[in-house]
Amino acid sequence: MKSLLKYLKGYYKESVLAPAFKCLEAIFELLVPLAVAQIVDVGVRQVNHTRILQMCGVMIALGVIGLICALSAQFFAARAAVGFATKLRSSLFAHIQSFSYATTDRLGTSTLITRMTGDVNAVQTGINMFLRLFMRSPFIVFGAMVMAFTIDVKLALIFAIVIPVLAVVVFGIMLITIPIYKNSQSALDRLVGKVRGNYNGTRVVRAFNKESDEIHDFDERNQALTRIQRFAGGISALMNPLTYVIINAAVIFLIQRGSLAVDSGRISQGELIALYNYMSQILVELIKLASLIITLNKAAASAHRISDVFATQPDEGKQISRKSDATAYALVFDRVSFRYHADGDEALSDISFSVKPGETVGIIGGTGSGKTTLANLIPGFYTPSSGNVFVNGKNTALYHGTELTDMFGIVPQKSVLFKGTIRSNLQWGAEDADDDAIWKSLELAQAKEFVAEKELGLDEPVLQGGSNFSGGQKQRLTIARALLRRPRFLILDDSASALDYATEAKLRTALSHLEDKPTLFIISQRTSSIMHADQILVLDDGELVGAGTHQELLARCEIYREIYRSQFPEGGDAE
């Protein structure tokens, strides 16, 4: 939690004023029992109506001033807490954006989302409640004890005994519940991960009629979370009854001993009522403090989880055996192997090939053969487990920041569009692109026709995920977005799978006549998509089993020949 307090910078004034106003409110509240004592001892016993009216006026004034102080404290506390959460969330998001694909995979998307939302909100609530109550409640508890000593020392000793006992109960429960709430948040991560997976795979779940299995799995995770929260809630729930029992026992003892003191004339009736009011104030404040402790426990657990994310540093560059390679090649893979997890199987094994500038490279293979993994290694999204990848003669591990990715235009396997407009989505490729450049990229991507038919054209709204466009339209828009930045390297990862053969043929023709002649990588399941490439790489179970032109591979690569013949039987060869 301490490491996160730096995000309160700029809100120190609010962080001081909030508890200061709460302490002022507490002072006015502590004066109320004294006014009540005056009403009883002077106003009632001596039938002094003037004193009664005076003290009533004082109590009203104390209430109004206390209300103003309370509202001021609420304002400053909320301002500090919201500002703190804004800075924290922004910094956390920026830190997560610096993670490599491997780090994100290791931590898990669902847990990062939970920590960005639920955990930050819990810490915000904790900061707000802390500024409002953590000074006020102890101030009233100890202030009430001090005021009790000014009335009668012997009876005030009851306060001196009760308060430490209550502190032991409150803080003991707090120490027990902190690790339980941490486990609760971890269980929530698992639940959110399940929900996210079902949301992303809704169509698959329904297609295979797995709704009942997924509901059962969700129920198990939900029940696990419920059990942890019930256990934590049960322990936390002990706080209120235990504090009530201790306080009410003290009240009974106070009244019994106080009545004897009144009979002996040591204190007046009004003073005994004041002592009872102080004990009641302690009870109320300790109940508030108990609730605050529970809130702070949750905030502390959430803060620890957020700190864990900040403690996860972006992957450092691995030790490389070679820094550079011949600059005659745009891309060189030198005995590259890769595995997603240190103890997992290799997704790619001993891959070596080279690509000249401006060449078109086709990558083909069965499902799970490593095509997308290879594509992710080219722009440095992942670091090879062994071997080296060189782009323009420089090892990808030596590029910094966006120096490498700025050279690439990438169309991922899953078309991703963001909520906004067609124009705003395409300008992800080039922020300063004008409409002429956008329309040109749409034309190259074979998307100009359907965009022009839209009522608002480039200003046509795009829903989250591009749900108001078909699969083929989304693919063409993402291709246009990549082309708009005029990249030196263009990677199309199975990005024409939703296009018909005629549209795909037009797209291939347009890509072959690009003015900038980027080095083009086409990953596809269709041999028709890559058969005209300058070089074709054939992958099988993470190994490079063939490399060459279409005719060369037909002659000497059995796996490529099988793929080709499965799509173009004898006598039906593609042109």
Residue 1 is predicted with a pLDDT of 62
> 220 and 351 in one domain?
no
* Contact between 124 and 147 (Cβ < 8 Å): no
> 296 and 340 in one domain?
no
Tell me the C-alpha distance between 548 and 566, whole Å: 20
| Domain-embedded: residue 422 | no
> 97 and 242 in one domain?
yes
| Domain-embedded: residue 316 | no
> 230 and 149 in one domain?
yes
Residue 319 is predicted with a pLDDT of 59
> 235 and 304 in one domain?
yes
Cβ neighbourhood burial of 353 (10 Å; 0-12, 13-18, 19+): middle
Residue 574 pLDDT more than 70? no
Q: Specify the number of domains making up the chain.
A: 2
pLDDT (tens digit per residue) in 253-285: 888 888 888 888 788 888 888 888 887 787 778
* Contact between 92 and 178 (Cβ < 8 Å): no
pLDDT (tens digit per residue) in 434-464: 889 999 999 999 999 899 988 889 999 999 8
| Rg from Cα positions in the chain | 35
Residue 365 pLDDT more than 80? yes
> 335 and 300 in one domain?
no
Q: Which amino acid is at 423?
A: R
Tally of CA atoms within 13 A in the half-sphere of 145 that contains its CB: 16
Q: What is the CATH number of the domain that holds 226?
A: 1.20.1560.10
* Contact between 297 and 125 (Cβ < 8 Å): no
> 490 and 410 in one domain?
yes
Q: What is the CATH number of the domain that holds 537?
A: 3.40.50.300
b/e code 506-533 from CB counts within 10 Å (16+ = b): ebbeebeeeeeebbbbbbbebbbbbbbb
Tell me the C-alpha distance between 228 and 234, whole Å: 10
| Domain-embedded: residue 498 | yes
Mean pLDDT, rounded, of the chain: 85
Residue 320 is predicted with a pLDDT of 65
The phi and psi torsions of 355 (rounded to 5 degrees) equal -130, 130
| Domain-embedded: residue 156 | yes
| Domain-embedded: residue 36 | no
Residue 308 is predicted with a pLDDT of 87
> 341 and 197 in one domain?
no
Quote the DSSP letter at residue 407.
Answer: G
Q: What mean pLDDT is predicted for residues 296-307?
A: 84
pLDDT (tens digit per residue) in 155-172: 888 878 887 887 788 778
Structure tokens at 278: 């102080």
* Contact between 121 and 89 (Cβ < 8 Å): no
Domain end, chosen from 311, 346, 367, is at 311
Residue 321 is predicted with a pLDDT of 64
pLDDT (tens digit per residue) in 369-382: 889 899 999 998 88
> 343 and 254 in one domain?
no
Name the residue with higher pLDDT: 199 or 363: 363
Name the residue with higher pLDDT: 44 or 13: 13
Q: Are strands 420-421 and 461-462 parallel, antiparallel or unpaired?
A: antiparallel
pLDDT (tens digit per residue) in 452-503: 988 889 999 999 888 888 888 998 999 999 999 889 999 998 887 778 888 8
pLDDT (tens digit per residue) in 82-127: 999 999 999 999 998 888 888 888 888 878 888 888 889 999 999 9
Residue 575 pLDDT more than 50? no
Give the structural domain span for 341.
331-417+483-567
Residue 571 is predicted with a pLDDT of 44
| Domain-embedded: residue 413 | yes
> 335 and 292 in one domain?
no
> 180 and 228 in one domain?
yes
* Contact between 327 and 350 (Cβ < 8 Å): no
| Domain-embedded: residue 238 | yes
The pTM of the full predicted model, rounded to 2 decimals, is 0.70
> 131 and 275 in one domain?
yes
Domain end, chosen from 311, 345, 362, is at 311
Confidence of residue 572 (pLDDT cuts 50, 70, 90): very low
